[in-house]
Chains A and B, each alone.
Chain A
Amino acid sequence: MAALVELRDVVKHFPVTRSLGEIARGAHPAVHALDGVTFDVGDGDAVAIVGESGCGKTTLGRLMLKLVEPTGGAITFAGAPMAGLAGERLRDFRRQAQLVFQNPFDALNPRFTIYRAVVEPLINAGIDRAEHADRVASAFRRVHLADFDRYFDRYPHQLSGGQLQRVVMARALVLGPRFLVADEPVSMLDVSVRAGILALLREVRETMGLTAVYISHDLALVRYLCERTLVMYLGRVVEDAPTEEIVRRPRHPYTQALVAAVPVPDPDQSRQPLPIKGNVPDAREPPSGCSFRDRCPHAMPRCAQETPLLRSIADGQRVACHLELA
């Protein structure tokens, strides 16, 4: 299938406050939030981006929605370079691409009623007032909020977490988008409620034909949403494969550690020490070559000299590791 979103060698650096020593040396340190990311999101696909805090996954989501601009590289949406979007074409993109926020408790203005929260995108997009009530009602129906009209004049604090997350989704869906980026859409919700939101995310994606990118730290959850997963480490994609391959047969040593670290609801699970050393290094000064090498149990001299590229090892499966290529 054709790609809806294409990222080519995308780089994002955030400047950081310089120390006196750095000023004296004339150094301009930056956090390398993203360091050369290349992948496509197929039209109608659901792709997960997984990694630990600071790996760049949230920045990546914000770049795909043009909420921040890349330092280098290119992103296209439906074939058009995103860097050039302006005026009416940018407004059109904003209608088509929507964000579902991480925390439903923060995502809604506490002083706006539920109706106001969901109608607001229509107002901002300049949709004819006559259409508002119908569009809002249809968005609420999509997220299965029964008897919703009785609650239009309620405020966010009067709703439960699961209800709020449905309102947040109704708000994201009200403009009939084509592309959705969801950043940890269920991490704040209780287990019994979370399963319902996951099912809803799957359902709206299928019925509306949406393309979706889910950003999460939780590999176990992502299995229920996406057939394909990208694993990130320190601003780079280290593995890109079908989710079941990632979970059952991880190839990159970092993915292997990540999978081994996820606890499962089985008292007889393995308690072997993790195949990984130390902590995530400072993103201001990542190691040379492969940024995972100082924690990797298989590191070789080559790993310090040469950054492994993300290369295809099988159909739909890419790994950035010298071991795979050796």
Chain B
Amino acid sequence: MILEVDNLQIHYSTRDGTARAVDGASFVVPEGRIVGLVGESGCGKTTAVRAIMGVLAENGRQAGGRIVFKGQAMDEATTRRLRWRDIAYVPQSAMSSLDPVYTVGSQLIEVLTKRGGFSRAAARARSVELFDLVGLNERRLADYPHQFSGGMRQRAAIAMALALEPSLLLADEPVTALDVIVQRQILDVLRSLQQRLKVSMVLVTHDISVVAYLCDEVVVMYAGQVVESGPVREVLARPRHPYTMGLRNAFPDLLSDALELVPIGGSPPDLREPLSGCRFVPRCPFAQAACSLDTAMNGTGAHQSACRRDSEADTLRTAALDPRTWQRSSSFAMS
């Protein structure tokens, strides 16, 4: 395992109390694999990768758990040492990793000389190599970020992240703001990096199609916790947690025969409130009284689910395919 996240707790202090953005999340990233961290807004996926990168917002702090990189537990000092060199980050908006007043090439050279100890000549050669790697013409090194299209900026941000040959790349919604054709091109760049450089990746996304296209493993998060994880093929074909089943039903599919999307009623809980048991209970059509007690991951092998009724997963999955199952939780109350 290149990365192990164990019972991670991240708290944000807000005006209205402490928000438990990540509340006991555990997952692993095997060497050379792409892991999709999937979930909806506020589920803690971005917070989790920012914690791994050591770039939490001012009001955020790690309140518990461990992040282990290549067998070594990370603290502030090790994170600072490994950042960019061994673990790199492609943020949600490529613009925020590029400085508008310098050419893209000079920013790359700066990273290589200042952080990587490259000579200027070596840095220049390496920049050309990096641009080639992400499919940008080396002539564009002399351009400023505003002269780039959205897709080119995203490629440049990836080149920047790869500058010092990190072994783990964290990418936060790297294609969300892009048009579909450009999106596909960027996904193909990421896939070729994995194949050619054996880079391990964590890809944060809300899009299960992107996970299906690019990832080997998937970790599904809900309300700060991991509800299901496993090989992508397994999890998408035979989801075992009701939230994953619901997400699958709600997700548009260009090629499916079903012409109805089924919403999951209600909304995620307020993470500033004290919560216990399965966080999905209020929206779950299969919830039982015992679900309000605490949960743990179930399952032997790679595919795990945090559902108490995991032993009945096959039956629940069949029931979940029927839109009527979800109706009882779908009244749209304003709470």
A residues neighboring B (CB under 8 Å)? 52-53, 144-148, 150-151, 159-163, 166, 190-196, 198-199, 217-221, 223-224, 247, 257-259, 261-269, 271, 273-274, 276, 279
Contacts and interface: CB of A to CB of B under 8 A. Distances in A.
Interface stretch (B56-64, B76-84, B110-118, B262-270): B262-270
Interface string B237-280: 00000000011111111110001111111010000000000000
B151 A279 contact: yes
Contact of B252 (A148, A161, A221, A261): A221
A211 to B, nearest CB: 20
A234 to B, nearest CB: 13
A167 B249 CA distance: 25
B213 interface: yes
A257 B260 contact: no
A265 B253 contact: yes
B330 A196 contact: yes
B252 A224 contact: yes
Nearest to B246: A192
Given A147-B333, A223-B259, A265-B208, A274 B253 contact: no
Interface string B212-251: 1100000000000000000011001000000000111111
B207 interface: yes
B181 A269 contact: no
B293 interface: no
B334 A223 contact: no
Contacts of B183: 261, 263
B236 A195 contact: no
Contacts of A52: 179-182
Interface of B: 40-41, 149-151, 179-185, 187-188, 191, 206-213, 232-233, 236, 246-255, 259-265, 267, 330-334
Nearest to A162: B267
Contact of B332 (A53, A145, A224): A145
Nearest to B248: A265
B254 A262 contact: yes
A163 B332 CA distance: 8
A257 B181 CA distance: 8
A267 B34 CA distance: 13
B332 A266 contact: no
Give the interface centre of B208, B213, B334 by most chain A CB atoms within 10 Å.
B334
A199 B183 CA distance: 27
A222 to B, nearest CB: 9
B253 A150 contact: no
* 9 closest A-B pairs by CB: A196-B263, A195-B261, A263-B209, A195-B263, A192-B264, A52-B179, A190-B40, A220-B252, A263-B213
Contact of B334 (A146, A194, A198, A268): A146
Contacts of B260: 199, 224
Contacts, number: 135
Given A52-B181, A192-B264, A258-B181, 5 more contacts: A52-B180, A163-B332, A190-B206, A217-B179, A266-B255
Nearest to B41: A190
Contacts of A276: 181
A259 B261 CA distance: 20
B225 to A, nearest CB: 16
Nearest to A51: B179
A196 B209 contact: no
Contacts of B207: 263
Given A221-B252, A247-B255, A265-B209, A146 B332 contact: yes
B35 to A, nearest CB: 14
A264 B212 contact: yes
A276 B151 CA distance: 15
Nearest to B180: A261
Nearest to A161: B41
Contact of A192 (B180, B263, B331, B334): B263
A274 B212 contact: no
Contacts of B179: 52-53, 217
Contacts of A247: 254-255
Given A265-B212, A271-B213, A279-B149, A223 B233 contact: no
A192 B284 CA distance: 12
30 contacts: A53-B179, A146-B331, A146-B334, A147-B333, A147-B334, A162-B332, A190-B41, A191-B247, A193-B264, A195-B250, A195-B263, A196-B332, A218-B180, A219-B180, A220-B254, A223-B252, A258-B181, A261-B181, A261-B183, A261-B184, A262-B180, A262-B254, A264-B253, A264-B254, A264-B255, A265-B208, A265-B253, A266-B236, A271-B191, A271-B213
A191 B250 contact: yes
A52 B179 CA distance: 6
Contacts of A221: 252
B212 A269 contact: yes
A9 to B, nearest CB: 27
A313 to B, nearest CB: 22
Contacts of A219: 180, 254
Contacts of A266: 212, 236, 253, 255
A147 B332 CA distance: 10
B247 A192 contact: yes
Give the interface centre of B179, B208, B233 by most chain A CB atoms within 10 Å.
B179
B9 to A, nearest CB: 24
Nearest to A50: B180
A38 B189 CA distance: 38
Nearest to B149: A279
B332 A144 contact: yes
